[in-house]
Structure 1
Amino acid sequence: MPIGAAARAEPATPVTWGVAPSGKSGPNGRSSFTYKLDPGAVLTDYAAISNYSAQPITVDVYASDALTTATGAFDLLPAAQKPTDVGSWVAFEPAYRRMVIPSKSRMDVPFRIRVPENATPGDHAGGIVASIASPESDDQGNRVRVDRRVGARIYLRVTGEMLPALSVEQTEARYTGNLNPFGPGSLTVTYRVRNTGNVRLTGRPQVHVAGPLGLGSGTTQLADLPELLPGGVFTTTVRVDRIRPLVRLDLDLGVMPVPVGDQGIGTTMASRSATVWALPWPQLVLLLLIVVASWLMIRRRRAIARALADARAQGRADAMASARTTEPTDGTADHSPTETARGSS
Structure 2
Amino acid sequence: MVFRALAAALLAVPLLPATAAHADASGPKVTWTVQPANATAADGRRWVERTVDPGTTVTEHLAVRNLGTVSAVFALTAADGYLTDNGHFNMLASDKKSSDAGTWIAVQPSVTVGPNETRVLPFTITVPAGATPGDHPAGIAASVLSRSGTLQVESRVGFRVMLRASGAARSSLAARGVTVHYEQSWNPFRAGTIHAGYTVANTGNVRADARTSLSVREFFGLHHRDGGAATGELLPGGNRPADARVHGVWGLGPVHTKILLTPADPAGPTEVTVWIVPWPQLIAVALLVALLFVLRTTRRASRRRLARLLDDARREGQALRKDNHP
TM-score range, shorter chain: 0.7 to 0.9
SS at match of 1:226: strand
Per-residue CA deviation, residues 273-303 of structure 1 (Å, 9 max, x unaligned), is 1123444444334323322322222222122
- Corresponding residue for 1:246? 252
Q: Which residue of 2 aligns with 1:30?
A: 45
**For the pair shown, which has the larger CA radius of gyration, 1 or 2?**
1
CA distance in 2, matches of 1:269, 1:220: 22
CA distance in 1, matches of 2:140, 2:83: 17
Q: CA deviation at 1:125?
A: 0.8
- For the Cα contact (< 8 Å) 2:33–2:65, is it kept in 1? yes
1:129 aligns with 2:144: no
Percent of aligned pairs with the same amino acid: 32
- Contact 1:52–1:105 (8 Å) recurs in 2: yes
- Give the counterpart of 2:63 among 40, 48, 68: 48
Aligned with 2:194: secondary structure? strand
Residues 1-345 of structure 1: matches in 2 within 5 Å?
1=11, 2-11=14-23, 12=25, 14-93=29-108, 97-136=109-148, 144-178=151-185, 181-212=188-219, 215-257=221-263, 268=266, 270-316=268-314, 318=316
| TM-fit CA distance, 1:160 | 1.8
Quote the Cα distance in structure 1 between the aligned partners of 2:121 and 2:311: 114
Distance in 2, Cα, partners of 1:145 & 1:181: 64
Displacement of 1:87 in angstroms is 0.3
- Alignment check: 8 A CA contact 1:255 1:270 kept: no
In 1, Cα distance between equivalents of 2:144 and 2:253: 59
Mapped to 2, the partners of 1:105 and 1:236 lie a distance apart of 46
CA contact (8 A) 2:20 2:156 kept: no
Q: 1:147 to 1:294 in 2, by over 3 A?
A: farther
Q: Deviations over 1:70-103 (max 9, x none)?
A: 333322223321110000111223xxx2344333
Give 1:327 deviation, angstroms.
9.2
CA distance in 2, matches of 1:253, 1:114: 40
Q: Tell me if structure 2 keeps the 8 A contact 1:201–1:227.
A: yes
Q: Under a length normalisation based on structure 2, what TM-score does the superposition of the two structures give?
A: 0.83
Q: 1:325/1:56 Cα in 2 relative to 1: closer, same or farther (>3 Å)?
A: farther
Aligned residues between the structures? 311
State how far apart, in whole Å, the 1-side matches of 2:17 and 2:54 are: 30
TM value normalised by structure 1 = 0.79
Say whether the 8 Å CA contact 1:208–1:218 is kept in structure 2: yes
Partner of 1:331: none
- Distance in 2, Cα, partners of 1:282 & 1:30: 59
Contact 1:60–1:131 (CA under 8 A) maintained in structure 2: yes
Q: Which runs of 5+ in 1 are unaligned?
A: 138-142, 259-266, 329-345
